[in-house]
């Protein structure tokens, strides 16, 4: 998939870089059972009070039910369509299993209509789109849709163009290098899908105008230094004076403050942190 530059017919179109939907094969979902309505909160809680700022509006969406668990083992499936999903950056694929059931999965890159995939708990060919336990994969394999606990469903590497690499494996754990640079150990029983996710050019998109953010349900954000002292810790000052140390409206430091628990249980599985890898 690629991106296209818009003709500068308007100020908003001048700097817009739009995605090209050449890989999408249908314009609407074909299986109604796998689509349901999606409500919006507008950042309000059940009392109607705003608890999350800068949310509201946006185009209506319908949620596609995605199979992140890939728990239909040893039954081959054939790719029917590649579809656009408004709820995620990657494309989704509708696959039909040989027993007649249809499911949506996150589409791997270079997976096309007519291709066959399979999910298995035993060792199978590490072809693009196949899901298997990471302990059964050869080291060096690029993977996505990675489980962190067996049977929980994929949690890592689900957005567009992302992939992790399996570095090594032992009797119980495998070592995986994530897109952030973090290297961590995960149980070898956890499933992952071979290949990287589709739509790798998603990060080259330039929205061009503020209105496209409003279509996504994002409302305007006001800088703290533009406010009065009563409204924000960084507000006030004469002229364009900066607001001092970057802080949130509630006084929490917003640049470099570590919020992760110092003795978090899962720290024992992190071989190298993401910030340590960037220093080298």
Q: How confident is the model at residue 1 (pLDDT cuts 50, 70, 90)?
A: low
Would you kindly state where each structural domain of the chain is located, as residue ranges?
A: 24-40+57-198
Query: Looking at domain 24-40+57-198, does it have CATH number 2.30.30.30?
Result: yes
- pLDDT of 274 reads 86
Number of residues that this document lists for the chain: 280
Average pLDDT over residues 213-236: 93
DSSP annotation of 21 reads -
pLDDT on residue 278: 65
* Beta-carbon contacts of residue 130 (< 8 Å; ≥ 6 apart): 117, 118, 119, 120, 124, 193, 194
pLDDT of residue 39: 94
DSSP 41-88: -TTB-TTS-B-SSSB------EEE-B--S---TT--EEEEEEE--TTS
What pTM, to 2 d.p., does this model score? 0.90
pLDDT at 240: 80
* pLDDT confidence of residue 13: 93
Segments in the chain forming alpha helices (H): 11-14, 210-215, 274-279
**pLDDT (tens digit, 9 = 90+) per residue, 233-264?**
999 988 888 778 899 999 999 888 888 898 99
Q: How big is the CA angle at 14 (ends 13 and 19), to the nearest 5 degrees?
A: 55
The reported pLDDT for the residue numbered 280 is 60
Contact 109, 93 (CB under 8 A): no
pLDDT value for 254: 86
Instruction: Dump pLDDT digits (tens) for 36-83.
Output: 999 999 999 999 999 999 999 999 999 999 999 999 999 999 999 999
Look at residue 105 and tell me whether its pLDDT is greater than 80: yes
Instruction: Note the pLDDT of residue 259.
Output: 86
Reply yes or no on whether the pLDDT at 107 is more than 90: yes
What number is the average pLDDT over the span 1-6? Answer: 82
Question: Radius of gyration over alpha carbons of the chain, in Å?
Answer: 22
pLDDT digits (tens, 9 = 90+) for 110-142: 999 999 999 999 878 999 999 999 999 999 999
**pLDDT, position 116:** 96
CA 132 to chain centre: 21
Distance CA 117, CA 176 (A): 23
Residues 177-185 have a mean pLDDT of 96
pLDDT digits (tens, 9 = 90+) for 6-33: 899 999 999 999 889 999 999 999 899 9
Between vectors from CA 64 to CA 61 and to CA 66, what angle results, nearest 5°?
150
Q: What is the pLDDT of residue 276?
A: 75
């Amino acid at each position: 998939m690629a991106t296209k530059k818009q003709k500068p017919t308007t100020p908003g179109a001048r700097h817009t870089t739009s995605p090209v939907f050449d890989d999408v094969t249908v314009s609407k979902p074909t299986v109604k059972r796998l689509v349901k309505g999606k409500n919006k909160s507008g950042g309000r809680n059940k009392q109607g009070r705003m608890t999350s700022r800068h949310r509201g509006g946006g185009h209506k969406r319908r949620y596609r039910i995605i199979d992140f668990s890939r728990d239909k083992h040893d039954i081959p499936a054939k790719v029917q369509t590649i579809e656009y999903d408004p709820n995620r950056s990657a494309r989704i694929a509708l696959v039909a299993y040989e027993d007649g059931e249809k499911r949506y999965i996150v589409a791997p890159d270079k997976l096309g209509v007519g291709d066959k995939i399979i999910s298995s708990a035993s060792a199978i060919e590490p072809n693009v789109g196949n899901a298997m336990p990471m302990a059964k994969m050869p080291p060096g394999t690029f993977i996505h849709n990675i489980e962190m606990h067996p049977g929980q469903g994929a949690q890592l590497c689900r957005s567009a163009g992302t992939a992790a690499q399996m570095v090594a494996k032992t009797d119980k754990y495998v070592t995986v290098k994530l897109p952030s640079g973090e290297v961590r150990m995960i149980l070898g029983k956890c499933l992952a899908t071979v290949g990287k996710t589709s739509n790798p050019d998603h990060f080259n998109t330039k929205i061009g105008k503020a209105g496209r953010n409003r279509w996504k349900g994002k409302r305007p954000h006001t800088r703290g230094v533009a406010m009065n002292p009563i409204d924000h810790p960084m507000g006030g000052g004469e002229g364009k004076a900066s607001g001092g140390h970057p802080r949130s409206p509630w006084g929490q430091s917003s640049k470099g403050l570590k919020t992760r628990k110092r003795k978090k249980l899962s720290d024992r599985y992190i071989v190298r942190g993401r910030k340590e890898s960037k220093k080298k």
